[in-house]
A = this chain, B = another copy of it.
């Protein structure tokens, strides 16, 4: 069909030796996290109460471009990486586009997504620090699954606070975590003070991500030998996820292909930031130019309809303030099926890059997203996650624009994961009962009015 194979695999020896820290090449650094009480930048000591020491150092490091990937993390990466860069020949054919579509597929591991790339790094540093375990929260369950796999590997205790309604509605995700030995607690629970208070105030509540974060942070701070870990938003997470972009960059180089457009779905920014970092680095250093497009859900449009301001990262407002594109920590997004994209804010790094005009953003509606997902599944043979399908739709729209104009662009997008635990969403699409729920201007204004 062509000299370019369907799937390009790097060898294991070509796995990056270092993560790439895009902050080092940014002229304006992302704004620091602020202590919610003092409104002063969080100090390493303050952060060290919640996060592992080495991760605090990575969080605050705006200068070192290359940060070595520890050997045990690289060994673990070799189990499921390098991930393939796939030429979507069959999708191109179905679209009748002159564009060339490539996707970096992160779903070929049991966590089902890219989340494992950062989970294993965070678990490693916790182990290295001699900790007993880590705590976290999970909503949809991808992050919790990835973390439980990482903790099983290093023999760390893993305590996951899972939003109670997800715990009950997604028993399968819960069982994967349990199989990896994680302790999964429905949140709110009576194992923490904040959980007990919420249960007393709101008996019968099915919980929220904000509440689960609060419980996980409390559990980390009050149990000797535990720290809290997070799967998105933070700069350290984008750093670990840069392995996605570095592999993509090398694979394209080996194929002799120059990307014109790079597209990723955007929730908290972990995948998008990881995919684009090295390309953004080239752009920041003036070595190459790329169009970079974030695709976010119209139901939770932080880039396209939010404000660039300091806001809380959690609904409970106990975590540090981050400067980011946000639609307000009090904003409650409609129950979109792309749970991984329902965060009100956006990584500080990506927010700064977007604010400087270095990348674009579009928002899309979920029925259109699932239509693209169905087309992708039928042509490319992979059932995509709802989150990933936002990037598919972005790429399809770009490919159709190329068809219109006759441009033979190289479009690269991130396919973050598989939809095997999202069949309830597919069912509502198959049944024709899925609807689009887009916030009104008044709703967004009301949420933004409550910014701190």
Binding site for B on A (CB under 8 A): 1, 5-7, 9, 11-12, 75-76, 78-80, 90, 108-110, 112, 149, 152-153, 171-172, 175-176, 178-181, 374, 377-383, 418, 420-421, 423-424, 426-427, 429-430
Task: Specify the chain B residue showing the minimal Cβ separation from A373.
Answer: B179
Task: Specify the chain B residue showing the minimal Cβ separation from A425.
Answer: B175
Question: How many monomers of this chain does the complex have?
Answer: 2
Q: How far is the CA of A378 from the CA of B153 in the complex (A)?
A: 6
Q: Sample 17 A-B pairs with CB under 8 A, ordered by A number.
A: A5-B11, A7-B79, A110-B382, A110-B383, A110-B420, A112-B420, A149-B378, A152-B377, A153-B378, A172-B424, A175-B426, A176-B423, A178-B426, A179-B374, A179-B377, A179-B429, A180-B377
The 3 tightest CB contacts between A and B, nearest first, are A172-B423, A152-B378, A175-B423
Q: Are A420 and B423 in contact (CB under 8 A)?
A: no
User: Which residues of chain B come closer than 8 Å to A426, judged between CB atoms?
Assistant: 175-176, 178-179
Q: Are A178 and B430 in contact (CB under 8 A)?
A: yes
Q: Are A79 and B12 in contact (CB under 8 A)?
A: no
Q: Are A381 and B110 in contact (CB under 8 A)?
A: yes
User: Which residues of chain B come closer than 8 Å to A6, judged between CB atoms?
Assistant: 12, 78-79
Q: How far is the CA of A110 from the CA of B377 in the complex (A)?
A: 9
Q: How far is the CA of A79 from the CA of B430 in the complex (A)?
A: 25
Q: Are B430 and A175 in contact (CB under 8 A)?
A: yes
Q: How far is the CA of A423 from the CA of B427 in the complex (A)?
A: 19
* Contact pick for A420, options B11, B75, B171, B421, CB 8 Å: B421
* Contact pick for A90, options B79, B178, B424, B427, CB 8 Å: B79
Q: Are A383 and B176 in contact (CB under 8 A)?
A: yes
In the assembled complex, the CB of A32 is this many whole angstroms from the nearest CB of chain B, namely 36
Q: Are B420 and A380 in contact (CB under 8 A)?
A: no
Q: Are B79 and A418 in contact (CB under 8 A)?
A: no
In the assembled complex, the CB of A24 is this many whole angstroms from the nearest CB of chain B, namely 31
User: Which residues of chain B come closer than 8 Å to A420, judged between CB atoms?
Assistant: 110, 112, 172, 420-421
